Structure 1
Amino acid sequence: MSAQDRYERAARKAQADGRVPALSVALHRADREPWVFTVGDSGNPAHPLTPDTRFRIGSITKTFTAVLVLQCRDEGLLDLDDPIAEHLDVPAHGDATVRRLLSHTAGFQREPYGDVWDTLVAPDDAGLIAELDRAERVLPNARRWHYSNLGFAVLGQLVAKLRGSTWAAVLQERILDPLRLTGTTLEPPAQAAVGYIVDAYSDAARPEPQTDLGGVGPAAQLWSTASDMATWAGFLAHPEIADPDGKVLSTATLEEMRFPATTTNETLWSIGWGLGLILIPHPKRVVDIGHDGAMPGFLAGAYGRRGNGLPPGLAAAVLGSSGTAGEINGLVPELLRLAAELDPAEIRPWRAAPPAPPEYRSALGPWWGEGTQFLFSWHGGALQARSAEAPADTPPAIFEPLADRPDVLRTVSGRETGELLRLTRDRDGEVIRMHWATYRFTRLQEGFDGGLASDGPL
């Protein structure tokens, strides 16, 4: 059975076990053609189920809003630690910072004021802000993670205000068009699937109403295809592949968004939250980056997977027309696992490269710091270091020399990121001592008083 046969079987099983009326899945990677598959019935007689059928993606919409916010930050329109009152005229909760709203740690109540999910009537843009004083701060600022659609709705209004436009127009211009996400829209097109609630005790399925979220749109409004969402998840996890020129957002900023800001549970650290992104760690330094979504009649998930030895640009999306089938979200990691196991990344042959520059060759080899051995090496055109005791899959620290001080290098990734490495040389120019994050590194194992460990008691 081929890898694609296994993917199809997994999708068919999820659709059958979850009793999902329509399921659309996509698996993308940089070294293969996209794999897209559908199974079921769209519920739309005029438009049978195809890869172009549109599903509601719910809260995956938040990842788009988060990227729009970070675009504003990168262009100097805001700082992540600005209180929203600096940019929006709000009647309450103006001290909530942009960063806290992005990471769901501002303490906002989950939904806008009122019983939106009873009435299915959401406030418009102006009403959302005007009624902010009627919404609760259910937790103190920065106390812990608490999911909030209201918080992301406010962020969407913030983007609109800063851009002098609407959230929808900014989204189209600054994300959808540049990444060619032509299947992603604010409103359901003619080829939209019908969303259902499936009866728990029979095979009956009842159509759910389509709800326009108005001012809450930046939290959950969008419709899309599985292929578009796999492309988007690939961008979130692998911008260096999906957007190498940084037209939408720089790789460095996506790295910032992916760094865990909080966990969702104080005892089970199985899900983390970055700046608008869900982070799901796996063994061997593998992590899934993306978001799930839920709206009446629909569930969705879109994640990219990062880690050593994985296929480049690996991402998957699953969209389904049932609001109750957890199998929809469970299929995403299963497809990513199958892709990595059944069709692994190609192993590139090692090739000799130019040696380290003469001025850094005497820094290579074993050094001792804090009583522990570190190995300094030159790979990929940069000085690197790693603890001799670290597992083999531990990323090394990587250094870059300061432009005007070649014997002072900045740690740009890995252990002690941001800290300086200072080289001390003898009269012949050989490196005889180093200081990394101010800790002394020597060729022999020394105590903090400079005495050799091998000398024993004084």
Structure 2
Amino acid sequence: MVEINARLGRMVRQVQAGARVPALSVALHRADRPLWSLTVGATGNDAPLTPQTPFRIGSVTKTFTAVLVLQCRDEGLLDLDDPVGRHLDVPAHGELTVRRLLSHTSGLQREPYGDIWDSLRAPGVEQLLADLARAERVLPPARRFHYSNLGMSLLGELVGRLRGGTWVEVLADRILAPLGLTATTLRPGPHAATGFLVDAYSDHARPEQPTDFGAVGPAAQLWSTAGDMARWAAFLADPAALDPAGAVLAPTTLDEMRWPRTVTDETNWVDGFGLGLILVPQPNRVLHVGHDGAMPGFLASVYGRRGGDGTPGAMGCAVLGSAGTAAAIFGLPHRLLAASVEHDPADIEPWSPGEPAPETYRDVLGRWWGEGFEYVFHWRDGTLRARRAEDPPGKPAAVFAPLPDRPDVLRTISGREVGELLRLTRDERGRVRRMHWATYRFTRDQQTFDGYDARWPDRG
């Protein structure tokens, strides 16, 4: 443990020194270890730098707004394909859907009308909505990824109105309190780090002007600590571990949010975007999910890790820095997550025998052929599963669940052909002799599509 902590600490210190970050705060959350945290540098003011020091997290705020939107969907307050104008009285762009705004595929311009990054004066809610009449649709909807703070700001206002409060009130009540994120706030408080622009040609660091982003708050306003953000990242990756009752959001809904809707670069597919979440695939079927953030004087990178051999439950990492141009911050959580798993993998749980498959499905177990390919059906953890015989070990199996009162018809609930039916056909003795999965015929021997055994081509 000492060795891996020293390794992680050296990686953090290299970024702080090499990227010249006045204050860097890092935390790594995993279910099987105590929270690991490290701070390097100084706040730039009279407050000491500690793991409890707040930093601005910028666009990581969007992940909270996205979860609030999906909560509304799960409770029937909206549909993701609703036009935003169904819930907000807007003078223009009301036909853009909630789903498109969440995935940054609406084509709406990036920022609210006006030069807010020049004046550092953000609009209030009424001005934000009124100015939509002057905001551009810079691309057709669904044409491609185009990041929009304006779009996420509209969703924050939508959530508040549906709940009968403000965005920040709903956030505190429905996410921060249930998950114990007590250090995540709308404004910095007296002990926050100061944000800086570090001069490119000297070691001088000039403080950036503090900004309140008003109605754009749902896109970028929040402050937090690395510990809170590592826990939030762990929730985004493994909600069942931190919220087993689904009080904040059902794990299946997080699955939906993590499904890629678009890539962010048409030729370099290194990351994608789901519903409010950045998705960064890693080798060996590992996914890092979260968001980066940038505000004047601050950068943040917050990601959870899913999948892969050795990844523990509830794994998340947050890197918060007080330099607005230290781009090395964005790569650090991915490296820390990978190093933690490589050098301190999760313990291997011993296997123990379980109950046999129910009698009704024992005829299904074993090898079957469909579309010319061999599949293996097996019983694990109380469910019928299937995988292609040649699938790599880390690829998840398809999982089936019987329909109510119809044990011979099963729904694919995850994996290959998710949503499709598996139908069992039995002979006069009740034995399963044929199956149809997504309407494709499955037999015990390899057959052509018109039903001939491939081993006996002369037996037509």
TM, length-normalised to structure 2: 0.98
| CA deviations over 1:271-298 (Å, ceiling 9, x no partner) | 1100000000011100100000000000
Q: What is the deviation of 1:266?
A: 1.3
The match for 1:411 is: 412
* Amino acid corresponding to residue 424 of structure 1 in structure 2: T
The match for 2:209 is: 209
Q: Residues of 2 paired with 1:376 and 1:90: CA distance?
A: 53
Q: What is the deviation of 1:38?
A: 0.3
Q: What is the deviation of 1:200?
A: 0.5
The match for 2:383 is: 382
Q: What is the deviation of 1:308?
A: 2.7
The match for 2:19 is: 18
The match for 2:248 is: 248
| CA deviations over 1:132-164 (Å, ceiling 9, x no partner) | 111100000111000000000000011011111
Q: Residues of 2 paired with 1:237 and 1:133: CA distance?
A: 38
Q: Residues of 2 paired with 1:207 and 1:279: CA distance?
A: 32
Query: How many residue pairs end up in the alignment?
Result: 457
* Amino acid corresponding to residue 456 of structure 1 in structure 2: P
Q: Residues of 2 paired with 1:379 and 1:118: CA distance?
A: 59
| CA deviations over 1:92-118 (Å, ceiling 9, x no partner) | 001100000000000010000000000
Equivalences for 1:20-419 in 2 at 5 Å? 20-45=21-46, 47-309=47-309, 310-419=311-420
Q: Residues of 1 paired with 2:50 and 2:282: CA distance?
A: 33
Q: Residues of 2 paired with 1:80 and 1:208: CA distance?
A: 38
* Amino acid corresponding to residue 128 of structure 2 in structure 1: L
Moved over 3 A (4+): none
- Look up the SS of the partner of 1:408 in the other structure: strand
Q: Residues of 2 paired with 1:376 and 1:175: CA distance?
A: 40
- Look up the SS of the partner of 2:331 in the other structure: helix
* Amino acid corresponding to residue 350 of structure 2 in structure 1: P
Q: Residues of 1 paired with 2:138 and 2:242: CA distance?
A: 39
- Look up the SS of the partner of 1:305 in the other structure: strand
Q: What is the deviation of 1:269?
A: 1.0
Where structure 2 has 5 or more consecutive residues not aligned to the other structure, the ranges are: none
| CA deviations over 1:301-359 (Å, ceiling 9, x no partner) | 11000013212211100000000001211211111011101110111111111110111
- Look up the SS of the partner of 1:178 in the other structure: helix
- Look up the SS of the partner of 1:303 in the other structure: strand
Q: What is the root-mean-square deviation of aligned Cα atoms in Å?
A: 0.8
Q: Residues of 2 paired with 1:189 and 1:373: CA distance?
A: 61
- Look up the SS of the partner of 1:158 in the other structure: helix
Q: What is the deviation of 1:60?
A: 0.1
Q: Residues of 2 paired with 1:392 and 1:15: CA distance?
A: 38
- Look up the SS of the partner of 2:179 in the other structure: coil
Q: Residues of 2 paired with 1:455 and 1:287: CA distance?
A: 45
- Look up the SS of the partner of 2:449 in the other structure: coil
Q: Residues of 1 paired with 2:312 and 2:180: CA distance?
A: 23
Identity %: 64
Q: Residues of 1 paired with 2:19 and 2:308: CA distance?
A: 32
Q: Residues of 2 paired with 1:196 and 1:149: CA distance?
A: 22
The match for 2:449 is: 448
Q: Residues of 2 paired with 1:436 and 1:44: CA distance?
A: 65
TM, length-normalised to structure 1: 0.99
Q: Residues of 2 paired with 1:201 and 1:456: CA distance?
A: 77
Q: Residues of 2 paired with 1:257 and 1:141: CA distance?
A: 19
| CA deviations over 1:335-394 (Å, ceiling 9, x no partner) | 101110111011111111111011100000000001111000001111000001111111
- Look up the SS of the partner of 1:128 in the other structure: helix
Where structure 1 has 5 or more consecutive residues not aligned to the other structure, the ranges are: none
- Look up the SS of the partner of 1:411 in the other structure: strand
Q: Residues of 1 paired with 2:23 and 2:329: CA distance?
A: 10
Q: What is the deviation of 1:34?
A: 0.2
Q: Residues of 1 paired with 2:15 and 2:384: CA distance?
A: 47
Q: Residues of 2 paired with 1:84 and 1:327: CA distance?
A: 37
Q: Residues of 2 paired with 1:156 and 1:339: CA distance?
A: 35
Q: Residues of 2 paired with 1:231 and 1:126: CA distance?
A: 34
Q: What is the deviation of 1:44?
A: 1.7
Q: What is the deviation of 1:429?
A: 1.2
Q: What is the deviation of 1:454?
A: 1.4
Q: Residues of 1 paired with 2:392 and 2:237: CA distance?
A: 24
The match for 2:430 is: 429
Q: Residues of 2 paired with 1:39 and 1:350: CA distance?
A: 42
Q: Residues of 2 paired with 1:75 and 1:350: CA distance?
A: 39
- Look up the SS of the partner of 1:435 in the other structure: strand
